[in-house]
Amino acid sequence: MFCLTIAGFDPSAGAGILADIKAFERSKVYGQAVCTALTIQNEEHFEKPNWVPWECIKSQLEILSRVRNFDYVKIGLVESPQILEKILKWLRKKYPKSFILWDPILKSSSGFEFHKQNAITWQKLFTYVNLITPNLPEAEFLGISKGSLKTTILVKGGHCSNSKNSNDLLYFPKSPAPIKFTAKRVKGIERHGSGCTLSALVLANLALGCNLEKAILKAKKNMRRFFTQGSGKLFTILP
């Protein structure tokens, strides 16, 4: 089974395509990657992104597609809504039935802001994807903290610091209420790239045949194990 991640390269391997590949491998899924940015960062400090031009992103997609059909795709850090739209339209033309997960990256864990565009410019792209996985600040920025009628959304609750639990909320289109996934918060530990890894684990579980609810439950269970092992802000993906 193969999964594709389209995201930035983080030299610390805590987030981005390296984190996704590790999460895929942990789930016994073979991951391949397309790079959208070469970032200058470590797990504690972010200096700048060096954006990969669309033509180079497209070339990476095209050469992989010569030998592989991707039924499960994750998209992370992108330069702009315009680049995201180009990626999504390419994917939908090439793989019209693929499951596409978009994990919005609006700000690095160290505070660097990538995007300030109006939420409407992002919202028009929601219908291209099957699942969006924002954290609480991203969901608020995108105007989807109370769900969306356009696609399925998993709002990750790790940024809710005033709660003893990490509550993730799964919204389905036209559903009257979300499904809540609750896990006890690991106190006193802040890890870099946890959102990237959780989303990658969810996608891998879907690729292995889990339904969405089971895929999320398994991902959250593994994330709790990972959080307890690591060094500084980096966590270890256990076998």
Q: How far apart are CA 199 and CA 120, in angstroms?
A: 23
Q: How far apart are CA 230 and CA 189, in angstroms?
A: 10
CATH 3.40.1190.20 assigned to domain 2-235? The reply is yes
Domain boundaries, the chain: 2-235
Query: Within 10 A of 17 (CB to CB), how many other CB atoms are there?
Result: 27
Q: pLDDT digits over 155-194, tens only?
A: 988 655 556 777 899 999 877 788 999 877 666 567 888 8
pLDDT value for 191: 80
* Prediction pTM value: 0.92
Angle at 75 between CA 48 and CA 124, to 5 degrees: 100
Residues of the chain below pLDDT 50 = 147
pLDDT value for 108: 63
* DSSP H or E run through 73: strand 72-75
